[in-house]
Amino acid sequence: MKIAIDGPAGAGKSTVAKRIAKQLRFTYIDTGAMYRALTWNAMQKGIDLNDTQALTALAHSIDIQFQFTPEQQRIICNGYDVTSVIRSPEVSAAVSIVAAQTQVREVMVKAQQQMAQHLDVVVDGRDIGERVLPDADFKFFLTASLEERVARRQLDLINQGYQVDIESIRQDIIQRDRMDMERETGALKILPDSIVIDTTGLSIEEVCAQILTIIEEGGHAI
């Protein structure tokens, strides 16, 4: 079974996807982490983030692995554990530039499809229902108000030990929404078969319960 979860930054996708995967004993694939790892690696190497050719070559050669422990998932890039560093404000600010490039996306989408092949998966991202898993059994689109998404991102960053300014988080989210929705390929959008869940004011538990009910009942929005 394949479950796609798309939506904008801060809608709660990864937390929800992780829990749903655990509950169903499926594999969780965090595609945002893959674009983040690529961006981190490009920055490490001093690659110009607008150089599509260099980024595409890097996307072909990069080794990204997910390691599962009972508590969490670690992301290993070329042998380094990049789980924390890919969430830094520097990578967050740069990743949309990398993810906007069509050729880079083609390589990443293929890698994601290969990972998902032959597995029961929950995959989250922006273009999962449309590009990565167009035949997914369920396509969820999670959303939430801008203010709630800003507050969640602020809490995430504080928990990771970052000093944060709420206005710069808001601007970062607005900017990423715009880039994610307006790019040429793989743009974030609600599909005709998306099941939309507005998570504003809902706890993680409530969102997961809604999703699991929909899956159990075979695919109708509540």
> Of 145 and 185, which has the nearer Cβ to ligand DC?
185
Helix (H) or strand (E) holding 27: strand 27-30
The binding track of 3-22 with respect to ligand DC, each residue x by CB under 6 A or -, is ------x-------------
Min dist CB 177 to ligand DC, Å, is 9
Distance CA 213, CA 29 (A): 21
Retrieve residue 6's tokens: 């798309």
Residue 194 makes contact with ligand DC by CB under 6 A: no
Distance CA 149, CA 136 (A): 26
Distance CA 16, CA 30 (A): 11
User: What three-state secondary structure class fits 98?
Assistant: helix
Instruction: Give the C-alpha distances (Å, rounded to integers) separating 187 from 66, 101, 125.
Output: 25, 11, 11
Judge contact between 7 and 141, C-beta under 8 A. Answer: yes
The binding track of 45-84 with respect to ligand DC, each residue x by CB under 6 A or -, is ----------------------------------------
Instruction: Give the C-alpha distances (Å, rounded to integers) separating 180 from 8, 83, 188.
Output: 8, 22, 6
> Of 65 and 213, which has the nearer Cβ to ligand DC?
65
Min dist CB 118 to ligand DC, Å, is 20
Retrieve residue 79's tokens: 């042998």
Q: At a CB cut-off of 8 Å and minimum separation 6, what does 38 contact?
A: 55, 58, 59, 62, 64, 98, 104, 108
Min dist CB 216 to ligand DC, Å, is 26
Among positions 58, 125, 141, 153, the unique one binding ligand DC when judged by CB under 6 A: 125
Residue 199 makes contact with ligand DC by CB under 6 A: no
Among positions 18, 139, 152, 176, the unique one binding ligand DC when judged by CB under 6 A: 176
Residue 96 makes contact with ligand DC by CB under 6 A: yes
Min dist CB 4 to ligand DC, Å, is 10
> Of 180 and 208, which has the nearer Cβ to ligand DC?
180
Q: Which residues bind ligand DC (CB under 6 A)?
A: 9, 31-32, 35-36, 95-96, 99, 125-128, 176, 180, 186
